[in-house]
Amino acid sequence: MTLTPPPLRNDCFSLPAGVDWTPVDEALALLRDRVRRVVPSESLPLTKALGRVLAADVIAKRSNPALPNTAVDGYGFAGAVAEGAHVLPLVPGRAAAGLAYEGAVPAGQAIRILTGAALPAGVDTVILEEDVTLGSGEIAFRGPLKQGANTRRAGEDFSRGAAVLTARRVVTPADLALAAAAGVSEVEVYKPLRVGVLSTGDELCEVGEVAAPGQIYDANRPMLLALLRQMGFLPVDLGRVSDDRAALRARLNAAATEVDVILTSGGASAGDEDHVSALLRESGALQEWRIALKPGRPLALAVWNGVPVFGLPGNPVAALVCTLIFARPAMGQMAGTNWLQPQGFELPADFAKRKKTGRREYLRARVRDGQVEVFKSEGSGRISGLSWAEGLVELGDGALAIHPGDPVRFIPYDSFRL
Ligand code: AMP
Ligand code: MG
């Protein structure tokens, strides 16, 4: 379980020969096929496990409920009882949650019992206190009542020895409740995936600096670092590097010793100043995936000193979409999860749109009054639209003519843990 698998082969991202524009689903299938877990596991106290990936099934150490108990406040006795009026004498004392009633309740008698209390010996049925008239030392009520009414069977939720959580799952707050109820205080989880984020481009300057004319603020790095943290990875800020091949090489060499995967943005196309793709190509490791996707230009994939590199487009809109659609499930698999499929919902469009066949499109979108709105511009330089949106609309690869009211697939940002 603690063994770390070997690094990826240099050519693991190569596409089958003859492919020109690769459909999104094919690209995803290839990534799924070729990317492996790289993180070792460790044992953690349950309280520290939120957001981590389970490396082993969680096995219940006790059943829930551990003992048969009552689901309501009322009076317990041996059932069933027939139709009609009944009067039962009460035994002294009561059974309450956490306080075992030591004695046994004789047949034909009843005991005061409170929600969560284990059923005393002789009790298998409970009547609600609202359905009872209380006299002095006795109760009166009307039947019929089935045997077992208002009680919970031992183990009806889960039994000791059952796998209540399965390996590869990301631990949620509800999972903490489940594991705690099962008496589990330590869980085996994977160490977080370390993801380096590097921005490239001579035009970039740091937010907080004074931008010279012609400079732009580095918007991708704060976005990607925050996104990675929210996705449960360990973000590592690799800073910015100018369009300089030697500097980029040095940065990648250093990064490859301290992170498990690298996300770069910018310089990923085939232009003169696209040093990321040029350097990766020089090293013999570059695979340019021309994916039939908008927004998004070629996604540069490579393995640098054993570490996968996702060369994202510089454009923040394209960088975000490529990260959500491609990098996230691949990184998840590297981090030990199953392949992550975002949950989408079919909802009526409140917009009209035509698209040609041959590529998938993602639109910045949000839901208002049960209908899907899209951002006023599809311009991929419009960062304001990323923030306006609360999710993406996914339009299939084929030709489409969408009219208001037609169903479209909306994927909330939450589905990506954005
Ligand atoms: P590139 O992929 O380097 O050609 O960049 C494409 C576009 O994205 C250009 O307009 C860049 O200025 C812009 N860009 C690149 N990196 C960033 C960044 N980190 N933040 C904001 N915009 C960027
Ligand atoms: Mg650039």
DSSP per residue over 48-83, as a string? Answer: G-TTPBBSSPEEPSS-BSSS-EESSSEEEES--EEE
Pairwise CA distance, residues 402 & 365, whole Å: 15
Residue holding tokens 């206190």?
A: 129
119 within 8 A of 104, measured Cβ to Cβ: no
111 within 8 A of 105, measured Cβ to Cβ: yes
Instruction: Say how many Å lie between the CA of residue 317 and the centre of ligand 1.
Output: 10
What ligand 1 atom has the least distance to the C-alpha of 318? 8
Instruction: Say how many Å lie between the CA of residue 377 and the centre of ligand 2.
Output: 23
Find the length of the chain: 418
At residue 19 the predicted structure's pLDDT band, cuts being 50, 70 and 90, is low
Instruction: Say how many Å lie between the CA of residue 270 and the centre of ligand 1.
Output: 14
Phi and psi torsions of 32, nearest 5°: -60, -35
Residue with CA at minimum distance from ligand 1 atom 5 = 314
Q: Ligand 1 pocket test: pick from 206, 237, 265 the residue with the most ligand atoms within 8 Å of its Cβ.
A: 265
Least confident of 23-32, 64-73, 274-283: 274-283
Of 366, 364, 349, the C-alpha closest to 401 is 349
CA distances from 28 to 36, 195, 292, 377 (A): 14, 20, 12, 27
Of 217, 221, 191, 213, the C-alpha closest to 204 is 217
Q: Ligand 1 pocket test: pick from 197, 200, 204, 299 the residue with the most ligand atoms within 8 Å of its Cβ.
A: 204
Which pLDDT does position 270 carry in this prediction? 73
Give the other-Cβ count within 10 Å of 286's Cβ: 22
How does strand 407-412 pair with strand 345-348?
antiparallel
Helix (H, G, I), strand (E, B) or coil at 45: strand
Angle at 295 between CA 291 and CA 298, to 5 degrees: 35
Ligand 1 and 188: CB distance under 6 A: no
At residue 50 the predicted structure's pLDDT band, cuts being 50, 70 and 90, is very high
Of 236, 233, 234, 201, the C-alpha closest to 219 is 201
Instruction: Say how many Å lie between the CA of residue 202 and the centre of ligand 1.
Output: 10
228 within 8 A of 197, measured Cβ to Cβ: yes
% of the chain residues with pLDDT over 90: 83
Residue holding tokens 């609309």?
A: 393
Helix (H, G, I), strand (E, B) or coil at 282: helix
Residue holding tokens 């010279």?
A: 212
Span 58-81, mean pLDDT? 96
Which pLDDT does position 18 carry in this prediction? 66
pLDDT, tens only, 203-251: 999 999 999 999 999 999 999 999 999 999 999 999 999 999 999 999 9
Instruction: Say how many Å lie between the CA of residue 317 and the centre of ligand 2.
Output: 15
Pairwise CA distance, residues 270 & 369, whole Å: 44
Span 123-146, mean pLDDT? 96
Which pLDDT does position 380 carry in this prediction? 83
Residue with CA at minimum distance from ligand 1 atom 23 = 314
pLDDT, tens only, 311-340: 999 999 999 999 999 999 999 999 999 999
pTM of the full predicted structure?
0.90
pLDDT, tens only, 335-366: 999 999 999 999 999 999 999 998 999 999 99
Instruction: Say how many Å lie between the CA of residue 84 and the centre of ligand 2.
Output: 85
Least confident of 13-17, 289-293, 354-358, 404-408: 13-17
Of 392, 367, 390, 373, the C-alpha closest to 295 is 392
Ligand 1 and 315: CB distance under 6 A: yes
How does strand 74-77 pair with strand 58-59?
unpaired
Pairwise CA distance, residues 60 & 62, whole Å: 5
306 within 8 A of 374, measured Cβ to Cβ: no
pLDDT, tens only, 256-307: 999 999 999 998 877 777 888 888 888 777 887 888 999 877 788 899 999 9
